[in-house]
Amino acid sequence: MKIRAEGVAEVTDADFTAEVLGAEPPVLVEFTADWCGPCRQLAPVVSAVAKETAGRLKVVQIDADTNPDTVSRYGVLSMPTLMVFRQGEPVKSMVGARPKRRLLVELSDVLEPVGA
């Protein structure tokens, strides 16, 4: 079963540079895998965060199993891993599922100000 967070784009090794590293707002990348139970728990949280932070944070997913180059480039060892990129550089990394409120608190320092 393919895990997809609703309203969240999927990126691949091929378009990671353009979609994530070249993006203007900060980007939250969820490294996920179909076999990962906590990833399934996190999918609705990631969807809700994407909706709530629209325009201030770009949210994407990448399948760890089918995109090994990106996974190894950033040293991702556990699923789910959430990584925030700003201006092409990883600035924050979090491992494991978490509730939406906690994730929003953890992201507060990287979110673009409203109306920026």
Catalytic residues: 36, 39
CA distance 70 to 67: 6
Label residues 59-69 b or e (16+ Cβ within 10 Å = b).
Answer: bbbbbbeebee
